[in-house]
Structure 1
Amino acid sequence: MQEDIQNAITALDLWVIAGYFAIIIGIGIWVARRTSSGEDLFLAGRSLGWAAIGFSLFASNISSSTLIGLTGSAYTTGIAVSAYEWLAGVPLLIMAFVFAPIFLKSRITTTPEYLDRRYSRRTRLYFSGLTIFFTIVVDCAGGLYAGGLVLNTFFPSLALWQSALAIGLFAGIYTATGGLKAVVYTDVLQAVVLIGGSAILAFVMFSDLDFSFANIRDSVDGENHLSMVLPLDDETLPWPGLFFGVSLLGFWYWVTNQYIVQRILGARSLPDAQWGAILGGMLKILPLFVMVFPGAMATALLPDIETADRVFPIMITTLLPAGLTGLVMAGLIAAIMSSVDSTLNSSSTLLIHDFVTRPEEETDPSTMKRYGTLATLGFMVLAIVWAPLIQFAGGLWDYLQQMFSVLVPPLVVLFVMGALSRRGTEQAGFYTLIFGHAVGAVLFCLGNPGVMGLVGMEPVYPVHFTINVAIMTVVCLIFYLAVSAVTESHEIDDAVIWQRGKALEDAAWDQAWYKDVRLHGAILVAMMLTILVVFW
């Protein structure tokens, strides 16, 4: 089968992919010539418009492992896993109406900087260091690793380390020289290619099924295959996890993670940040229809695929004509590059702003740019070296992915309570992080078969991680309130506290009804509710 996939790639496909790379190189060179300061490198000079923000949010989030994982899961277990995509609208609405106003009014450069202003510098450094580690070791190196596996499927003669090196060097160099603006502008192109290529594939597959949704239903295995709300004992996504856990996990990703939030921080105005966040939420609806449903349709068109990770490569090489195969492959490469460039840029931003420079020491803009470029290149090398080693970690890599559910609960409490209430003290903020992560790590180990197997025991906490994240959020909230009650409060800047008027005072809702950010938010809510009802 792998030989068939390789033979399905024609010279026309390779020319399409080469053309895509040429455009990316052109964008990188054009932006690099206009990047002169640290703020240009890290925040695109705070000049990003709403469309660039929205498309970049979408492109940076869709990795190669996401694209392949969504179609593979839809093929084997059903469409419920798509909830991580379309429910992204919930935290993005929170970003638009609660945190974007605070972040932009405060003129912060990193999300840990918000914790510094609300709590303390030690809280900031703890969160920043943790974010850098997971962003490089899990997100960036993981993206290179997954990308290498994908390219190896199409080009078996290409070794994993060679793929990781090529992708890392290409994305790392234009990110190091052009910064966030280069990342965002290339992301816009990558989002268009990714959506367009996936939509063409979905259309071709749907046409082969006579444009009949009934034919899809008849082809899948089991009544829950096309359902979002699954039983409590379901291993993929039990219903409490759908309603409570998914959005909490998304909060970490869309509201606190520098890797994503950097686009919001680089907005030229509050309305642009709000419109961009909501546009990102609307674009996140699309994967259900152009990535997940093709996986479900493949059960009828390609019923004998044995491995889930092979579903997407086989779909595009078997069902698409020459040229279109290259376009969709370019979209797949776009997904790889968008994740890698974003993680590199955000990690260098965190390192320079949170560790290297100090607020009381003004640094020359050109020096900041040089520091950022060197940091990006250093992280690029680290990720390239680490990526091939992931193959030797076996099941441990899956456990690292689930460790994000350990990170989330205390961060949700710190950011939400920090923004909405003055009652939280500095001690409550710092010790809630320590407490939440320590308890979360213990529960993770107690519920993990692989970890417990090392000591010859069965799991004693068999709770799905999407449910556990909700439980631990409540526990961290109780701990936060308890510590706040017995410790002294500190002076808090008004700029870091949410105020109702602050969320809309710069918005365009008073100019024309179609510019009203509240209307856009209501439309996004209606879209998510419609999906939930239709696919209940």
Structure 2
Amino acid sequence: MFISFFLLLAIAAGITIRSIRKQSQTSVGHYLGSRSLTFWMVGSSLFLTNMSANQFVGENEFVYTNNMSVMCWGMSSIFAMVLVSEFLMPVYLRIGAITTPDFLGLRFDRQTQRLVSLIFLLSYAVNLIPAVLYGCAVAMNGIFRLDMKLGIDYFTTIRLLVAFIGITGCLYAVLGGLKAITITDMVQGVGMVAGGIFITWIGLKFVGNGDPATGIKTLLSTNREHLNAIGGPKEPIPFSTLFTGMLLINIYYWGMEQYIVQQSLGARNLAESQKGISLACVGKIFAPILLNVPGLIALQLFPKIQNTAEVFPKMVTDTLPTLMAGFIAAIVFGGALSTFNAGLNSIGTLFTMNLYKPWSEKRKKSIEEKDLVKKGRMVQVTVTFIAIFCSPYIMFFSDGFYNYLQKVSSYFSVPVFTIMLIGLTTRKVPAIAAKIGLAFFVTSYVCTQFFIKTGLHYLHVLAVLFVLTSLLMLLIGRIKPRQHPYFLENKAMVSLRPWRQRYFYYVVLLGMMIAMFLLFSPVGVAE
């Protein structure tokens, strides 16, 4: 198992090192891959950055304990990605953005840009990076059973694994930059698709006593309530949330979250960016094979798992041949590294380009490109070691790992989405409105989660606060509008010619999304 695990990692690392030997050491070269990424690189990196060990562990656990409604996050994101591809990417590339807060600096002011950059940095440091490390450590220990083999307690094992994963990922991000990350993602992406199909196939053979067709029939005829993706109003993910808070979070995630959007900003032109996003949508269509179906199979094979976070690792270790289990472990590890690396790369980008560089220029201090890269690397290393120390304590969160991820991210995502959207759709709302809107949203959301019981699902609360904050910003814009309406200047560094065939593929992708919802519903297999 260990041999196949390290072999796949070595192959991915070898291909990456060979591909980036002559990479430019400028800030744009390091953080955006010199704006040279093809659609294969953009699409693979977007898909793998999203598919971290958190999803392997969290979504399969959710399916095992609840139902398929967790797939709503991934399926509904396809609609959000289409919107981002059509409306947001042309704006970012038109202004020559390196980070998503760059737009806020132009639309409102530099203070708003720096404030949102700090929010991003805080979000990645306290939520993204620690959660990725913890999720991967849980998966790795579940597959290799290191706590039992080494004879040490579970907490210490997780801490050791977190350190190994964090240091490995930090080396990738610090030494290689965005291009190293995307090339590794392409290699890992091929393995992930193959591994997902294989683990599902073997699992169905186990359920069907050697016959996958019988396994499918058994899966569709027992525990049918777990096949339903249409969550009721009292369930953890009600279907109605697709049209409220979930939609807002998905648009923010795919169109404004720096560590995600940075992959698209590195594209060689707008058309390649739009193709890459569409390729990632194809991956999301088939993602349930790896993220959800193993949870359904585990329900048949292991109906009484005590630690439900072990659902996916147990599927790997108890059904796959040893060699293949090591291969799947490498895929999970690679998926975690992809998200971790992208987060670290974005931390370096946000700090150097939006905080350190403007501060230095204000002091009239000359800055070399190598100095920008060096300062970013120092921050990346610092955040890594803080996350290594903190992430094991996530296991003590009472509501479960998946709810931890979604609830904590909500404190940062929709407030930023709100001011970004108002900035994109209006021309006279002033900078003070963005600052007041951020403060109002965050304060109100904290109150609803800790002090005031609304009786609403937290995703519905986010939607209500989005409307209220938007109205507040529009009111401020009406009372005290900008002296000069905002005009979107053209500072594009790449071609802005869009992908000609995009509308056809958008329709196909949205049709496939609807078909997946119908399949896993009372109209389909959950009858």
TM-score by length of 2: 0.89
Aligned to 2:158: 160
Partner of 1:48 in structure 2? Answer: 37
Residue among 468, 471, 486 paired with 2:479: 486
Aligned equivalents of 1:320, 1:416: Cα separation in 2: 47
**Letter aligned with residue 213 of structure 2:** F
Q: Which residue of 2 aligns with 1:373?
A: 377
Q: Please state whether the residue corresponding to 1:88 is helix, strand or coil.
A: helix
Alignment of 1:453-468 (within 5 A): 460-468=453-461
Distance in structure 1 (CA, Å) of the matches to 2:159 and 2:21: 28
Show the counterpart of 1:522.
507
- With over 3 angstroms needed to count, the CA separation of the structure-2 counterparts of 1:400 and 1:273, relative to structure 1, is closer
The residue that corresponds to 1:105 in the other structure is 94
Give distance in 2, aligned partners of 1:68 and 1:149. Answer: 8
Is the CA contact 1:446–1:461 (under 8 Å) kept in the aligned structure 2? no
Question: 2:524: which partner in 1?
Answer: none
Q: Deviations over 1:353-372 (max 9, x none)?
A: 11100277773222222222
1: CA distance, partners of 2:219 / 2:397: 37
Matched, 1:403 2:403: no
Q: State the identity as a percent.
A: 23
Alpha-carbon spacing, 1:291–1:391, altered in 2? closer, same or farther (3 Å): closer
Counterpart check, 1:446 vs 2:451: yes
Q: How does 1:15-414 map to 2 (within 5 A)?
A: 15-30=3-18, 31=20, 33-153=22-142, 154=144, 155-156=146-147, 157=150, 159-208=157-206, 209=208, 210-211=212-213, 213-220=216-223, 223-234=224-235, 236-358=236-358, 363-391=367-395, 401-414=406-419
The amino acid across from 2:476 in the alignment is: V
Determine if contact 1:167/1:337 at 8 Å carries over to the other structure. yes
Alignment-mate amino acid for residue 277 of structure 1: I
State the distance in 2 between where 1:246 and 1:488 align: 31
1:302 to 1:389, Cα distance in 2 relative to 1, 3 A? closer
Out of 426, 433, 444, the position equivalent to 1:428 is 433
Q: Is the 8 A contact 1:229 1:238 kept in 2?
A: yes
Range with bigger deviation, 119-128 or 374-383: 374-383
| Residue 467 of structure 2: aligned partner | 474
In terms of mean alpha carbon deviation, does 380-389 or 53-62 score higher? 380-389
For residues 403-460 of structure 1, the C-alpha deviation after alignment (integer angstroms, 9 at most, x for no partner) is: 322333332222222222214222222211111111111112136xxxxxxxxxxxx2
Contact 1:104-1:265 within 8 A present in 2 as well: yes
Further displaced range: 297-306 or 72-81 = 297-306
> Are the structure 2 counterparts of residues 162 and 228 from structure 1 closer, same or farther at C-alpha, using a change threshold of 3 Å?
same
How far the C-alpha of 1:23 sits from its partner, in A, is 2.1
Partner of 1:453: none
SS in 1 for 2:25: coil
Instruction: Find the partner of 2:497 among 487, 495, 506.
Output: 506
Contact (CA 8 Å) 2:229, 2:520: kept in 1 or not?
yes
Flag the 1:145–1:337 CA change in 2: closer, same or farther, 3 A: same
With 260-269 and 244-253 compared, the bigger mean Cα shift is at 244-253
In structure 2, how many angstroms separate the alpha carbons of the residues matched to 1:39 and 1:488? 35
Aligned-pair CA distance for 1:391: 4.4
Counterparts of 2:448 and 2:324 in 1: how far apart (Å)?
A: 47
Give, in whole Å, the separation in 2 of the partners of 1:89 and 1:229: 17
Question: Structure 1 CA distance, aligned partners of 2:371 and 2:123?
Answer: 27
Deviations 1:105-159 (A, max 9, x none): 1101111111111111111111111111111221111211222222233211272
CA RMSD of aligned residues (A): 2.3
Take 1:405 and 1:496, find their aligned partners in 2: how far apart are those partners? Answer: 32
Report the CA distance between 1:528 and its aligned residue: 0.9
Deviation at 1:67, TM superposition (A): 0.5
Q: Which runs of 5+ in 2 are unaligned?
A: 522-527
